[in-house]
Structure 1
Amino acid sequence: MVNFVNMVDTPALAAHINNVLEDVSIPELPNHYRGKVRDNYDLPDGRRIIIATDRLSAFDRNLAAIPFKGQVLTQTARFWFEATRDVCPNHVIGYPDPNVVVCRRLSILPVEIIVRDYLAGSTATSILSLYKAGQREMYGVRLPDGLRENQKLPETIITPTTKASTGGHDEPLTPDEIMGRNLLTAAQWQRVSELALTLFARGREIAKERGLILVDTKYEFGFDEHGQIILADEIHTPDSSRYWFRGSYDTRFEAGERPDSFDKDFIRTWVVSRCDPYKDPIPEIPQEVILEAARVYISAFEAITQQTFDLPPAGTSVLERIRHNLADYFPSAGQTGTTGE
């Protein structure tokens, strides 16, 4: 395992092993929707409250709950939203709590945009899985023969997929299919593609400054009430992106070894080595693996943002803190809340 920036002390982190946010049911808030990782509440005035839980989702199922994962995702995305707002407008209004973003409610595009710079991945729809199966034509892109696992691609590519419901599978799409099925118009697809590639280029540049490689990432976009395309969900987090350490990449690639990384591949790799996660029951993930995953997430936040992650006092209830910080948004408060800035 790689030495990370400001690695959190294991005993200190272990004190929080049972203080995880698995569910955020807040009866005072309206229109609850539970996603794979986030719980959402839609306010009557067109705003949305998105609460990042500690659930870890992969292989179309929830695998575990990782301490502080939701906070890491929210605050890492906050860093990136602020670092890219000159590239693309985003949905953020404010942050009333470390796990919470209040944002504009959008009509989310029915296509997920995945941008890739390397032949990598572990899911059934990843270009590495398809390439290993002998495919060279995928997502409307043709890849050359002779590429090696984790190799830099000849050029940055977009691999769009459908947006599956919870428990469903994302399916590969080509640009022709996107337009042929009227998921997006040609002009919308061109605009989304331009934004995604520009956002990725910005992310790649900043990651490089931090000694990291932004390998691939997922973007979600939506339309606002004026039809403008807005960046939504999250950006360049350890859940939506794959990062490798630049300093060791060349040596490990030449040796045929897996690049040093911090992302949810840590848990995915543990699971894949023990079962077929699409068919078999998932074995119970040991506490030490859960704690190591938490350390990976926290270290990712620190390396990406160059900020220190401070652990709260042991025994602090994440849910109670969130409820307290969202009290102004409860209808009984007589108002719809502040921006949370």
Structure 2
Amino acid sequence: MNTISETDFQFKNQTSFYRGKVRDVYGLGKYVLMIATDRISAFDVVLPRPIPYKGQVLNQIAARNLEATRDIVPNWLIAVPDPNAALGIKCDTFPVEMVVRGYLAGHAWREYKAGRRQVCGVTLPEGLKENDKLPHPIITPTTKAHEGHDQDISREEILSSGLVQEEKYLMLEKYALALFEKGTQMARENGLILVDTKYEFGEVGDTIYLIDEIHTPDSSRYFYLDKYEENQAAGLPQKQLSKEFVREWLIENGFQGQDGQKVPEMTDEKIEEISNRYIELYEKFTGEKFKKKPSENILKRVHDNVEKFLKKL
């Protein structure tokens, strides 16, 4: 299967290039082009093999959700010239990620299980079980690291350190909670529960924009709605549509991104399983059949589609 491990394009008027964990980002003057590769990361480590169609899934879900939330906050997206590409407004990025949690899962659960009752300055009630619904959605921000691990940080630490001005930070919180409410509604309409997610924001002048991706399986965690109550009552794991199953597989095989740990072998079968789970989320979330775009020469397809669009700008 022809996948995108990385790109190395040269576009007219290109001013910069940055390779993120998953996306390759091209600066084009006042615009930014993001190529959603098929790389997959976990514990802030890029795993050694790409996942077929993963980039297409992420890009198309993100674009759909960005369009659906423009009434809440302006966003960076202008166009999707290719299933793996998105072009939008170049913003100055706020140096924090806004993580919103509606349920006790993932990192928050691991902290809670270890006996800690505060996450990012937010106090959690006693007596919760894994995957329980929280009394109300909470914001647990992280720093935004270009390399290495993002770090938990509290609202108080963000404001006292001057990372973000208070007035703007309070707007980020307001937008994040409103986006989470909208994402929850959209997920429920398709039989899913939006468990937690992260949002990134930037600004141009005095205008705040939602940037990057939104409500994708890389940035969000979903449960199936129909079995949630039954599984919780019985103390059973929740079936997840997210990247958490990849993290769990890595943990079971002794890898959590720490020094000296080795990524377990990613067999062809494991690659296919992960790819199928991403496609499953797309179909479940959108209610539409996933259309696999031609991948015989995927790099040429992406390059040519982007070039064709840029000529129209």
The TM tier, using the shorter chain, reads over 0.9
Match in the other structure for 1:159: 140
- The answer to whether residue 99 in structure 2 is matched with residue 136 in structure 1 is no
Q: Normalising by structure 1, report the TM-score.
A: 0.87
The answer to whether the Cα contact below 8 Å between 2:83 and 2:293 also exists between their aligned partners in 1 is no
1:255 aligns with 2:234: yes
Stretch deviating more after TM superposition (23-32 or 180-189): 23-32
The answer to whether 1:198 aligns with 2:178 is: yes
- Give the deviation of 1:170 after TM superposition: 1.0
Unaligned runs of 5+ in 2: none
> How do 1:182-197 and structure 2 match up within 5 A?
182-197=162-177
In structure 2, the residue corresponding to 1:218 is in which secondary structure? strand
1:118 corresponds to which letter in structure 2? Y
d(CA) in 2 for partners of 1:88, 1:312:
31
Cα separation, 1, equivalents of 2:117 and 2:215: 27
User: Match of 1:220, SS?
Assistant: strand
* Secondary structure of 2:188 counterpart: helix
Aligned to 1:12: none
**2:53 maps to which of 68, 71, 86:** 68
- Deviations along 1:292-313, one digit per CA (max 9) or x if unpaired, are 1111111111111222212245
Structure 1 stretches lacking a partner, 5+ long: 1-17, 330-335
CA distance in 2, matches of 1:278, 1:257: 27
Does residue 284 of structure 2 align to residue 303 of structure 1? yes
The offset of 1:145, in angstroms, is 1.2
Match of 2:256 in 1: 277
Instruction: Give the partner amino acid of 1:270.
Output: W
The within-5 A match list for 1:81-160 is 81-121=66-106, 126-160=107-141
Once residues 43 and 115 of structure 2 are traced to their aligned partners in structure 1, the CA distance between those partners, rounded to angstroms, is 22
Shift of 1:234: 0.4
Q: Percent identity?
A: 43
Q: Point out the more displaced range, 209-218 or 135-144.
A: 135-144
> Among residues 284, 290, 293, which one is paired with 2:274 in the alignment?
293
Match status 1:218 vs 2:218: no
TM superposition shift of 1:327 = 2.1
Residue type at the aligned position of 2:58: L
Q: How many residues align?
A: 308
AA aligned to 1:67 is P
Instruction: Calculate the aligned-residue CA RMSD, in Å.
Output: 1.4
CA drift of 1:338 comes to: 2.7
CA distance in 2, matches of 1:102, 1:28: 13
The counterpart of 2:150, out of the listed 164, 170, 173, is 170
Instruction: Give the residue type in structure 2 aligned to 1:137.
Output: Q
Q: Partners in 2 of 1:297 and 1:137 — Cα distance?
A: 32
Letter in 1 for 2:145: A
1-side partners of 2:229 and 2:267: how far apart? 32
3-state SS of 2:271 partner: helix
Instruction: Give yes or no for contact 2:33–2:87 (8 Å, CA) kept in 1.
Output: yes
Q: Shift of residue 255 of structure 1?
A: 2.1
In 2, Cα distance between equivalents of 1:317 and 1:268:
30
Separation (CA, whole Å) in 2 of partners of 1:37 and 1:138: 26
Cα distance between partner residues in 1 of 2:88 and 2:161: 29
Q: 1:236: how far off?
A: 0.2
- Separation in 2, partners of 1:32, 1:276: 30
1:238 is aligned to 2:217: yes
